[in-house]
Amino acid sequence: MFPGIGGRGMNPAKVKQMMKQMGINITDIDEVEQVIIRTASRDIVFNDANVSIMNAQGVDTYQIVGTPEEVARDVQIPDDDVRLVAEQTGVSEDKARDALKNANGDLAEAILSLSS
């Protein structure tokens, strides 16, 4: 166990001292307005984020504390892809765009879905 840690909670001064001894440094980033984590299918947005950087043995680790909000990402369909699918399948550009959206931008899947 760690000295100074009992059933009543941790003494902040002792925690800080132990972290310093272990070579861990934590700093807060002030005035954070928003943090966005982007994945292929969605964004995770923190509008009320508190961000800290913990440096331990030369490695920075970012900690985000806040309320996440998941937002689905719209697939961006290039006009060239729409034209290609329309030409290959003989459908209108609107139908080609819809097929590409349903296929998450996958050209081959969109063409196959319209060719059936």
Nearest 5°: the CA angle 25, 28, 34 is 140
CA dist., res. 82 & res. 86, Å (int): 6
pTM for the complete prediction?
A: 0.56
Q: Which residues of the chain have pLDDT under 50?
A: 1
For the stretch 3-34, pLDDT in tens is 555 556 788 888 888 888 888 988 999 999 99
